[in-house]
Each structure stands twice: as C-alpha cells, then as structure tokens.
Amino acid sequence: MNENDKMNNYIGNKDENNKIKFYDLFQVLHNIKTKINKKKLNNSSFNIEFINEIFKNFDYILIKDMIFLLQNGYIEKKIPELTNYEMLKKDYINKHREIIWTLLIEYGYLIVDVTTNNGNISEVRKLIIKTEDIREFIKKNFFEWKKNLFNVEKIKNTIDSLTKFLKDKIKSNLGYSTGYDYYKNEFIDKYYSIIYSLLSLSDECEVVTKEIFNENNNIRELLIIPKDNLETNTLNNNKNDIIYIIINYNNNVEKGCIEALDYNENLIFDKIELKNEYDKIIKFGIAFNKKICDVIYEINYGNKIKEKEMQKEIYTGEKFQYASNENCYLIDKTKMISKLINRKGINAYLITRPRRFGKSLNLSMIKDFFEKPINEKENEDKKFVFDGLEVSKDRKNMRHFHKYPVIYLNFKSNNNKEDDNSSIINFLKKEISSVFNYYKKRIDFNKLSRDQQEEWNKIEQKSDGVILQSTIKFLCTCLKEFYKRNCIILIDEYDKIFSEKLKSESTFGTIKTFFSDTFKGNDYLHFGIVTGCLDIGLNELNSGANNFTKCSLLKDNYFSDCYGFTEDELKNVLSNFNISDSKEKSDDIEDGIKERLKKKYGGYSCVSNIGIIKNIYNPYSIMKFVQKNKNKRDNFELSNYWIYSEKNEKLKNLLKNIV
C-alpha cells in the first residue's frame, strides 16, 4: 500500500470530485475530524494520550509557546501541511514539532481565527483556544507534567540552588548532570530548558540572558533577579549575582528567539519598551519576565565559572579596566561612548574640566571599549569589562566594541624643569616614539612597504630629520591597512606642553602644525578627543586646529553629564557605602551630610543646550571623602584633598596681571 492509499484510508472514502490529490490542509483537517470519536474532551483517552505525548517531548521553544498560549488565549503560528500518513506518527512528530499545531487543531483544542484565513497555507495564522474548559484542561496537564518532572532529585536540587544563590551547589549539580544524552534533543539541552522554564514561572525570581558571544565556548549565563528588586525605583541599586554555568556541549539558538530581537533595537514586546527598564540587563539580553514578554537569548560566553558582585572598593585612579576587574566602585559614565558612536558631523572634541574630574579615566574607558585586542589573551582580559554598564544595553553600540585602532598620547609626564623649547620637542618625540613602538607589536610590521618601514623606524628611533608634525597622520595611514578602519586619537592633558616659556615661533609652529595635521587634515581619523584643564593652547593656534568642538563647564552640549558626580550619583555613592547622617531629622536621612558635601565639593555647574546642571561634585574629592567615612553616621571628616596637587604658572601669572 502506498502513502496515498494509507492517507486516503485514514481520512475515509471520498467521491471522485472531492478526492484529495495534494492534501490541502483544510480538507485534510475536515476529514481527520470525521475519524475522531466525538467524546467529551475530558473523557477522551486518545486526546489525553496525545496531549501527554506533547508535554513529555516538549522542547524549550514549545514550552514557551504553551506559556504564551495559556497567558493570552491565542498564539500566531504557521500551520504545517499534512502531506502523508507518516506525518501523523509519533516518531515524525518528535522530530518535527511544528506539526503539533496542526494536530492540536485536529483534536479540537485550538481553532483558526477565520479573519486570518486567506487561503495561503504558508501564512501565519492566529490560533485560539477553543473553549474555557479546554484551556483549563491544557493548563492542568501542562503544569502537572512540569510538577512531576521537577520532582526528579537532581533537577530539584539544582533549582533549589539557583533560587537560593548557592554557587557551589549549582556548579556541582550542573557539572554532574548536564553531560548526559538523556538531557539532549535536537533543538536544545532539555535539562537547561527545564531550569529556565521553572524560573520563568516562579514567583521568586526572573531570568535575564545574553545572546551568543562565541559559538566555540561552552558557558551559559543566568542573571537571577529577585522580584522585590524589579520595582522601577529599586532597579538601579539592586545587588544581584551573575552566575556563569558550565554546559558540556553547545547548542544552536532557535531561529525564532534570535529573530525576536533582530530589528527590534528598543526591545519592544507587547507594546512595552524594555530597553531602559532594567539596569542589570547584560549586553544584548532582555528581561525574561512572564508579565512582560516570553522571549529569550541564549549565550555561550567564556570558559570558567565566574561570579560578579557589586563593586565595593574605592578607586581614584585613571585605569578603567583595572577598576572594573579589581572589584572597584565606579559611577557608570559609559553613556559617553554611546554619544560618541551616535555623533553627527563632529570628528574632534576639545574637552576641558578642572583637575580630578575624571578626564583621564574617561579616556581610558573609551580606549578600552574601542581598541581591538592584539590576541585572545588580551581579549579575555577585556571582554567582561563593560558587562552590565549603560553602553552594553544598546546592541548597536556593541557592534563597535573592540573594533578600532586607538592612538593614545598622554602629555601629563611633561614635567621637565627646564621647560624650554628643545625639551618640549624632545618630549613630544619620546611620546610619539612610544606609540609607534606600541603598535609595531600589534601589527605584522613586515607587511608594510619598505618606505613605510624606514619612515616608521626613523620616528620610533627619534632620528634627526623626522617631520614631527605629520607623524600621527602617517601612523593612521599605516594602521588603516591592517585594521581596515580609521583611527581614534586620544590626547590627554594637552595643555601641559603650552608652558609660559614656550616663546619660540618655530616650536610654537611645530606644535600648531602637529595638532592641525593630526585632527584637521587627517583622512584616516574616525574621531579624536583632546582633554585638558584649560582652553589656553589651542585657542592660540588660530586656524591651525579650529575644527575642534569645544566642551567646557561654560558650555557643553554633548558631555555635560559625563564628568563629575551629579546629585543622583552622589546619593547612590553614599547609599552604596552606607554613609548617612543620624543627626538629621528629615524624610531624607542623607540631607545633612549632603548639604555639607555640596558646600565643600559641589560648587560646579555646567551649561548645555537642555539647561544648566547644578551642583556637580568633584569625583576625586567625593571618593576620598568616602574612603575615610565608610559606614559612618556622624563625625564626618571633610578635607581638601587635591588643592595643592598642581601648580599652573600660566594661570597664576594671568591672575597676577588682572589684579
């Protein structure tokens, strides 16, 4: 008997005019219904057996589909076409789960919304639960199945460990259990799916995931958030653990999950925008919240278990990566990176702020984000640095992560007491030589042309006759050949080279042309940032470097909230280190010490195109204050922490002349 005969026998005899030749779906469904006994649903052993088979063999995607169906009463799916009798057999269904939707219609559980029926079999249809009784029947069977499944001792122990944040037990249970074929099917690791499913329905916690980072690695990530911390006013301050869980083999993410986030940059689900909802959403992940959405992103990320907690150590240095990796407390200023990525028509910024305002730390942050690692070890050291920070929430931002050559110069070390013209030029040569030496180790130097190698070596060796002004532009040209991208140029404390004794027109002209060639006439510049305390040097360069967009406290339309601590940020710092004033009798227990801090360290304001940001606090002073006053409620020590840390002869002489 051939397949057509089998199918015709199954669906019943038909006259010639209605004979099924291509097995049109709706005709097949109609005939299948005539073969099903019209018993009441709850008394139908055949139907119960079928629904139990579905639950027994569910993969993760169908579990999530069933959750959606029960919550909303409908689901939109493409309905596969029945083309032969074999498609109705158990083995076929197990391997082609999508046919379940056709069978759920056939067995009377679901019906097709007629408004979506346009006759095209390949179109998505809206499927509706037929009656409330059926809904309760599905719900009862579904949750009974899950309840029984979770009674398995190994699974129950792992779930208990997850909900109680017991890292050692999680490691032990998962490491012992996840390598067995029993927990695998063709779509996804069933054991891991069960954990997700339970947590997604739990009243105690929610799950956040990230997208695939490296398909060759074998780590999955769960971020478990107690529901008490899901309220809007507590999200930014919650203290949650990120637990990296070892899985012994890799699985591909279902296409549907990936498509859920593609072309959905704001993470909108059921008309709710999640993009800015949860401070702890990592990388490209979204909240796995049964009240908001049922979409996941899987992750393979790293090669070891790691627990990352809220930072608690004070840091007043200038190395962003060190602060992130060494459990230091940082105010998240990565919004500056987002602004740089989304800039329009601006290639060079001159940013001036007072000393100890975070200029060097921000440049270090920008370098760590954009600079392409030299090898896998450097990548391993850096790839977790921005996890959970503001910049990582936008998927578009992460397309720029570790993609560019970054040229970094710091003129802070120009402390030559002679401070004459020759020492300034020698200092510049030394700093530029160091940059060339740095990048010689990061590229295949022998692939440069002979002329390029000779010029490179002259600059690196500080040879006589090197045209200092065009050195950085030359470096950008060489790096473009390797990275296939334009360079980012960062210069810190530029005003150090503009000393009072810089009076030689020749030396001044060299510096003028250096900045001009580097930032204005450089076709290989992606963007550049120059920082300093005072806008005193580049002003005097006239047209040589006049393409800078200037950003100062007097006016900054771009980065007004990226330097210094705002009122809200100060409140978070004090709360994190348990600093409050027991003597104050007000609704806000921190008002007393906050007022004193405002008078001592908060005398700055910044003007922007959206208004004036008042009471910006010096970060160094605040963090030094915190360092000496952790967990205090009285007897606070407020000192002058940096007033004598720098002398500026040019400013001193200028003030003398004014007086």
Residue 159 has pLDDT above 60, yes or no: no
Q: What is the largest CA-CA distance in the chain?
A: 111
Percent of the chain with pLDDT over 70: 52
Residue 379 has pLDDT above 90, yes or no: no
pLDDT at 368: 94
How far apart CA 84 and CA 329 sit, in angstroms, is 64
DSSP assignment of 347-384: -EEEEE--TTSSHHHHHHHHHHHHBPPSSHHHHHHHTT
130 DSSP β-pair partners: none
- For residue 638, how many C-alpha atoms fall within 13 Å in the half-sphere facing its CB? 13
Mean pLDDT of 157-174: 51
Indicate the SS3 state at residue 437: helix
Distances, alpha carbon 302 to alpha carbons 305, 384, 456, 626, in Å:
8, 9, 37, 34
- pTM exceeds cut of 0.85: no
Q: Regarding beta strands 287-288 and 205-208, do their DSSP bridges make them parallel or antiparallel, or are they unpaired? A: antiparallel
Among the residue ranges 108-122, 173-187, 441-455, 545-559, the one predicted with the least confidence is: 173-187
How far apart CA 224 and CA 216 sit, in angstroms, is 25
3-state per-residue secondary structure call for 231-292:
CHHHHHHCCCCEEEEECCCCCCCCHHHHHHHCCCCCCEECCEECCCCCCCCCCCCCEECCCC
Residue 585 has pLDDT above 90, yes or no: no
pLDDT at 43: 39
Mean pLDDT of 520-541: 83
Distances, alpha carbon 631 to alpha carbons 240, 242, 575, in Å:
21, 26, 9
- Kindly state the DSSP code that residue 150 receives in the 8-state scheme: T
Mean pLDDT of 173-183: 38
Stronger pLDDT, 81 or 94, i.e. the higher one: 81
Q: Which CATH architecture has domain 320-551?
A: 3-Layer(aba) Sandwich (3.40)
- Evaluate whether 244 touches 301 at the Cβ level (below 8 Å): yes
Mean pLDDT of 285-304: 30
How far apart CA 475 and CA 208 sit, in angstroms, is 43
Return the amino acid letter for 571: K
- Evaluate whether 198 touches 146 at the Cβ level (below 8 Å): yes
pLDDT confidence of 153, banded at 50, 70, 90?
A: low
Q: Where are the domains of the chain?
A: 3-146, 185-308, 320-551, 564-659
- Evaluate whether 512 touches 537 at the Cβ level (below 8 Å): no
Residues 492-507: pLDDT tens digits?
A: 998 888 765 566 677 8
Each as own residue / partner, the long-range contacts of residues 567-575 (CB below 8 Å, 24 or more positions apart, any chain) are: 567/615, 569/331, 569/617, 570/594, 570/597, 570/602, 570/617, 570/622, 572/236, 572/237, 572/331, 573/329, 573/331, 573/622, 573/623, 573/626, 574/626, 575/237
pLDDT at 209: 40
Residue 19 has pLDDT above 70, yes or no: no
Residues 347-371: pLDDT tens digits?
A: 999 999 988 899 999 999 999 999 9
Indicate the average pLDDT of the chain: 67
pLDDT at 64: 65
Structure tokens at 166: 């017991």
Mean pLDDT of 252-270: 39
Percent of the chain with pLDDT over 90: 19
Residue appearing with tokens 């037990």: 169
Structure tokens at 609: 């195109």
pLDDT at 329: 83
CA 475 to chain centre: 31
pLDDT at 351: 95
